[in-house]
Structure 1
Amino acid sequence: MSPSPLHEWDLAPREAIALQKRLAGRVEREDRLGEVRRIAGVDIGFEDGGATTRAAVVVLAWPPEPAGSLAVVEQAVHREPTRMPYIPGLLSFREVPAALGAFATLTTRPQLVMVDGQGIAHPRRLGVASHLGLWLDLPTIGVAKTRLCGRHAEPGPWRGDWVPLADSGAEGEEEVIGAVLRSRAKVKPIFVSSGHRVSLPTALDWVIRCLGRTKLPEPTRLADRLASRRDQKQNSTTR
């Protein structure tokens, strides 16, 4: 699956920030997704001291098998030279190109994508999950291990407990930008936010439904596991 180009990637930081502000207005925070039969998980990392970006995508069948596991339908690992140095707040310009390269090799089009990263829980409301969702024109959810911005109370200690993640909007008003979810009892929470075409309640519902025995939902957990396998380096595509 190869999406239509959304914009050029060769941008100076000031241009990238201006583009983020424009694209954030195109992010849909309400539900626009149909029946979900395939869920993709995305994990993006770096190698060679940051010179190479690595993206892993795992596509899973929904609903789960009788035993409770999610069957892997397709998977891909893509590596390419990193396009932008590390600049806080501009990680999507560093990460999304490789993710698009991985999606381009897939023959299966998922109906929902979970990304290891932020959705709208971003200072300019355009984290990697939102940016990728706009490029793919697919519903996406951000599932991050750490907070990038916003304030929150401590969620309860049990699996499924959550509290809102709030931040000041452009006009200074308080805005809920995500949820701080206890995905495993007495373990540090994860940060869930709308990416694109998914509301926060729906994002929370899907993340909880996809939880297994570990802290992360199965789509991003399996993408992370795929990305960490050294033997995948021989089978990955490079652009």
Structure 2
Amino acid sequence: MQQLESSNRILVVDDEEQMTAFIATYLRNEGYSVTVAHSGVEVLSAFEKTTLNGYDLVLLDWMMPGMNGLDVCKQLRKFSDVPVIFLTAKTDEIDKVLGLEFGADDYITKPFSVRELEVRIRVVLRRRLPQAQTSIDVGEEPRMLKRGHLSIDFSKHAVYLNNQSITLTPTEFKLLCTLAKHPGRVYSRMDLLEIALGDEYAGYERSIDTHIRNLRKKIENDFSNPKLIVTVHGVGYKFGDPT
């Protein structure tokens, strides 16, 4: 694995060496620190010796020989919430939804503009920062928020269910914070898209449904009958009464 020098730390994983070299060079020139890997096995093997805390974001190719990107993402999600952006030649909506369901935060289809890629990276990295105020979600940020058996520590970017720590992706964390701060308030999908993903996000509205589904699997006692994150049919979602 080749280490390049700068600030925000990006891991680029693709079996095509020309592709990784091209992306790494562009991101280095934009001020990022870039590490390159060419297989999922190489990535996971390296993480056995280190930790994902050494990276701020992973750019992950979907179609690689051996262990593909979906398998790598699934393994990463067992022990890390590091943001993942898929690089994929797949363009069907079902494939994009599948990537999100496996824990990715975003995806970009090949061929792509490196300028668009860098914008996507900035948007996802921004979700790692302390909860930002938006035109929709204004108010003083609490340090700790409790809703029934669910606790959110904003300062530590941590979530606890029944006093047990649970791992959320940056997108899931921001969605949960937004909804939990205003129980009963209904947010449309477009509201949540703007708050959680940013107005620069070029995805589609229904991607929020996938992130909500993943979040429910982690925080609801009964995923098939959610009590915390409630669907308001024809509108969007709200945080229900956890008592």
TM range (shorter): under 0.3
After TM superposition, the score normalised by the length of structure 1 is 0.28
TM-score, length-normalised on structure 2?
0.28
Choose between structure 1 and 2 for higher RCO, CA contacts under 8 A separated by at least 6 residues. Answer: 1
Name which one, 1 or 2, has greater alpha-carbon Rg.
2
Structure with the larger strand share: 1
- The structure richer in helix per residue is 2
